[in-house]
Amino acid sequence: MEINRDLELVKKYQKEIILINQTIGLLEWDQQTYMPKEGAKARAEQHAFLGSLSHEKIISDELFSAIERLKKIELSGDDRIMIERVYRDASKARKLPKKFIEELSKTASLSFNAWQDAKKEKDFELFKPHLEKIIGLKKKEAKFIRLEGHPYNSLLDSFEEGMTSEELKPKFEELKKELINLLRKIEESETYKSQKRVLTKKEFPREYQMHFVKDVSKRIGLGEDYSRVDFAEHPFMVRIGTNDLRITTNIKDDPFFSFGSSIHESGHALYELNLPIEHEFNFLCDASSYGLHESQSKFWENMIGLSESFWKYYFEKFNSKFELENNFDKWLNEVNFVFPGKIRVEADEVHYCLHVILRFEIELDLIEGTIEVKDLPQIWNEKMQEYFGVIPENDSEGVMQDVHWSQGTFGYFPTYAIGTIYATQLFEALRKEFPEIEKDIEIGDYSKIKEWLRENIHKHGRKFTSEDIIKNVCNEGLNPGVYIKYLNDKYSKIYHLK
């Protein structure tokens, strides 16, 4: 039958696209972990070739004709949803010329290496011409896609389907206002004025940090047979294929950087591990959005890894080895202390979303063309002074601290705040279903949590939008108010706020 032939054709194309993209993921993982520096030029050519090949397949006339025929038929179940997803992706991709994709892939690969050098040298001028090219191409991309509303929507939609800047701006404005209000209260408290990190400033050897990282990762549900941990400048996770998940971390002077980032990336990996295997080689075996993906990492990093229950299990192991004064309360408060740091990935819970909002505001202005790349260091530092009360000492800890812009991923940053908010909503829903879940966390048992996340989030893959999934679990969509209440309740206790 023609229907079956068309379905098989569409599935064949999806499998090929997925395999190509997984190969690109492997190349990117290698580039950020083990690739020799002088391999950059060849890697850029490889990226461009594979990116172009993947694009050729998604925009294929043969594929699109089969999709259009299938859309006219009353398909049922997952086949219907799968065709809707492929049609959406193909329609969008067909707006982007092949030469544009090649140029963007090559430019982004070279830009990444320029960013690494510029960051090392603390010299924005080395990166500036590459970033100007990237932004010029992203403006072109927005014009090619041309979704309704702000041009930024055409970039944001690639990471958070259905979300718009018009919806995010007022929510982020309210969130920014509430976060700054809470920060001012904290800064005025006597606890804040006298706070010192003593226990958490002890030296935790690299090998012990890695022992902790691997133990938590294993308890979360990641075995060494299908995952591994390596080192990269900017921690990330990538799925190379089914049961092949790569996590990276970076061990710094502050051990909680490796702890937090590794728990964070393990949350991402668990999501990828539990995606619907029956759709292994079609577009339903994917997260519904980057925001929902981020909700899984922030769920484990914040709601679990910073909680009292989590440290009730791990504190004694640290206490017996590093002499932490047998003072659990002091340790827990230090783990959660608020400091106006300059680095997003090292930020505490209260400052974190402010870092994201700062980037979102700059991205909007860059795509609008109301600011220029040459002015970014100054604009960045002014916003840091206004929101955080600190100014970066150099551009490496300022405007160049993140890898994202070098790779052309404009529209990605807002998903970090979206995911952080979703994580709080999900944990609230979990506690309603299991009121005593903290008792499980206290003994290092995450089995109920893993199963709850799998059933409510992971197993759906990309069948539904993130908002639909969150509404189904939490009875409402994105709600910053839940996150604001969580922060106020938690930090009022730590800092004795009225």
**Any catalytic annotation for residue 265?**
yes
What are the structure tokens assigned to 480, written together? 């910053």
Q: Does position 1 have pLDDT exceeding 80, yes or no?
A: no
pLDDT of residue 231: 87
- CATH among 3.40.430.10, 3.40.50.2300, 1.10.1370.30, 2.30.30.830 for 165-201+275-495: 1.10.1370.30
Over the stretch 434-469, which tens digit does the pLDDT of each residue have?
A: 999 999 999 999 999 999 999 999 999 999 999 999
The mean predicted confidence, pLDDT, of the chain is: 95
- Count H helices and E strands in the chain, helices first: 21, 3
Structure-token match 């990641």, residue found: 222
Confirm if 289 and 478 have CB atoms less than 8 A apart: no
Residue range 320-351, pLDDT digits in tens: 889 899 999 999 999 999 999 999 988 999 99
In the predicted structure, residue 484 carries a pLDDT above the cut 90: yes
Task: Give CATH 1.10.1370.30 domain extents, the chain.
Answer: 165-201+275-495
Q: At which residue do the structure tokens 């639909």 appear?
A: 468
CA neighbor of 357 nearest in space, from 187, 171, 491: 171
User: Rounded to whole angstroms, what are the CA distances from 252 to 50, 168, 287, 346, 390?
Assistant: 34, 34, 31, 10, 21
pLDDT grade for 5, boundaries at 50, 70 and 90:
very high
DSSP summary character for residue 64: H
Pairs from 314-320 (Cβ < 8 Å, separation ≥ 24): 314/212, 314/444, 318/204
Q: Which of 265, 272, 294, 349 is catalytic?
A: 265
Beta bridge partners of 245: 227, 239
Question: Two tokens at 282?
Answer: 């079609």
pLDDT digits (tens, 9 = 90+) for 97-155: 989 998 998 999 899 999 999 999 999 999 999 999 999 999 999 999 999 999 999 99
At residue 353, the pLDDT reads 98
Sheet holding 227-231, edge to edge: 227-231, 244-249, 237-241
